Amino acid sequence: MALSQKHSGKILVPWYSSHEWKYVYSLIYSETSTDSDKKKALQILQIWKIRMPILFAGLEGTLIILNAMLYDETISTKDQLSSFYALAIMRFLNLCAANSDQQGTFFRIAKERNLPDWLVNIRHDLAHSQKQSSLFMLRKGIEYCFEWLKYEYWELQARKVTDFVVARITKDDIQEKIHLCCKYINCTIFKEKPNSSIMNMLTELHTSKYSSTNEVLQNLLQGDQLLIEKMVEIIVENNYIFDGLTDAVQQIPHLHVVQWEPVLQYLAGHNMLMKIILKFHEICINNEDLLIERISSLWLKEIFASLNANSKQNQHNSINWELGQDKTYVMRFPPPNESLMLQLKKLSEHALQNPHPQFKNYCVGLMTLCGYKQTFTEDINNIVDEYFHTHITLNTPYIPMTIENVKEAIGVDTFDEFNFTVETTLPTPSKKWTKIEDTCDFEGCPIGILPHQNRDYNPTISF
C-alpha cells in the first residue's frame, strides 16, 4: 500500500486544498470525533472517490474501513454483519498486497507493513476455507485497521501535504499568448529579436527561445479544442501567416513553410487542419485583398502537396506537378484519414461549382488528393485557367458588364443610331445533308472532329 506517497514533485489530488485534507483528518481522528463527524468525513471521501475513481491507497483503505465502522448493526443479522466485516478486512488487505513493491505471501507483506498475523489469518480463513472468524475478532480487526491507518498514512501525510497554487489563466490571457506565439514564429522567420512580452510568455509556459514551436503550443493550448479553433482564427484573421509575403512571391518561401509547419502539424494532430484549409478557401473566394487571396491559395497548394506526399494512395506517385523543379521539401503530415478525405471531397465539389481566379493554384493538388484522374484534373485546371484568363487579369477583380458600361465605353447615350442587324452566313437548315465540295478546311482534322473544334475551346479533345 502506497501509504506514504513516493511521488516527487506535484501531483493531482481530489481535495480542493491541504486545509480540506486536514479537515477530514480531524473529523476522523480527533479526540472529540463523534460518529456524526466520521459520517461527514465518509461523505467527503465518497466525493473524492467520484472526483478520482482510483484513489490513493491510504484514502481507499480509510474509505473501506470507515464504511464498515459506521455500518448500522441494527438492520442486519449477526451472520450478515460478520460477512460485511470480513469482506471489508479482506478488501483492505488485498489493497495492501496490490500496492506492495514486491510479490510474496500475505504473511511476509503483512510483516513488512506492521500488520499482525492474526489479521492475515482472518483473510486466509475467509478466502481458503469455510471457517469464519467470530464477530468479536472481526470487530477487533476493523478497529485495528482503523488505528493502523492513522499512524501509517494520515500522520505521515499530515507532515508532507502542501498546496501548489496555480495561477488562474483566463481565455483572454491564452488568446493574448496565441498572438505572442505567432509573433514569436515570425521573429524566427525574419531573424528578429523577440521582445520582452514574447520572452515573458515563453517563461510563463516553462519554455525558452530555444524551445520548439510544438512544445510552446503543447504547454499553451494543452489540447483544448476550443482554444485550438480560436488559434486558427487568430492566425488567419490577423494575417500572421501572410506576414512578409509580397506580390513577387510565386510560392511560399521555404523558411516560412519550415517555421509554420509545427503549427499546421499541431492542427493536424488535433483534427483541426480542415479548419485552416476552409479559412484559406473562404479567403480565396470572399476577400477583397488580392494579395491575401493569392497567398492563401499558395498556402493551400503547400498543404495539399504535403498531404499528397504523405497519403498512402499517392506515396508512389510523382508530385512534381505540385512541388516544382527547385523544391523538394514537403511538410510532414499523417496520411489523411477517412473523415478528412470526406471533407476534402466536399470542398472539391464546392470549389468546382464556385470557381474563382486563385483556384488554379491549388486545383491540381486538391483534385489529385481526392482521387480524380490526372487527365480530368488537368482538363479542369485548364478550363479554370482559360476562363479566368479570358475574363479577368490576375490583379483586376471581375466586374460583370452592363449596357450602361458599353454606352460609357463608346461615348453614346442611346443605341438608336447604330444598326445591330446581324447577318448570318449559316446555311438554311434542311432535312438533307449538304455535300461540302471544298474540303481544304478539314486538312489535318481527325475523323469525327470539326475544324472549329480544338483544345483551346474544348479541353476534352485529346489531339
The pLDDT, as a whole number, for residue 406 is 56
Question: How far is Cα 175 from Cα 408, in angstroms, rounded to an integer?
Answer: 51
The pLDDT, as a whole number, for residue 23 is 95
Question: How far is Cα 122 from Cα 83, in angstroms, rounded to an integer?
Answer: 11
Taking only the tens place, the pLDDT of each residue in 214-229 is 888 888 888 888 888 8
Question: How far is Cα 179 from Cα 201, in angstroms, rounded to an integer?
Answer: 10
Please write down the HEC assignment for all residues of 117-131.
Answer: HHHHHHHHHHHHCCC
Chain-centre distance for alpha carbon 197: 27
**Mean pLDDT confidence for 359-365:** 89
Between helix 35-51 and helix 57-69 the angle, nearest 10°, is 140
The pLDDT, as a whole number, for residue 264 is 92
Question: How far is Cα 32 from Cα 270, in angstroms, rounded to an integer?
Answer: 54
**What does pLDDT average to over the chain?**
80
Residue written as grid cell 490571457? 173
Backbone angles phi, psi at 297, to 5 degrees: -65, -35
Taking only the tens place, the pLDDT of each residue in 1-60 is 334 444 445 678 899 889 999 999 999 999 999 999 999 999 999 999 999 998 999 999
List the grid coordinates of 17.
Answer: 486544498
pLDDT reading at 356 higher than 70: yes
The DSSP secondary structure of 131-184, one letter per residue, reads ----HHHHHHHHHHHHHHHIIIIIHHHHTT----PPPP--HHHHHHHHHHHHHH
* Percent share of the chain, pLDDT over 90: 31
Taking only the tens place, the pLDDT of each residue in 260-282 is 999 999 999 888 999 999 999 99
Domain range annotation of the chain: 18-158
Q: How confident is the model at residue 374 (pLDDT cuts 50, 70, 90)?
A: confident
The SS3 of residue 433 is coil
The pLDDT, as a whole number, for residue 402 is 61
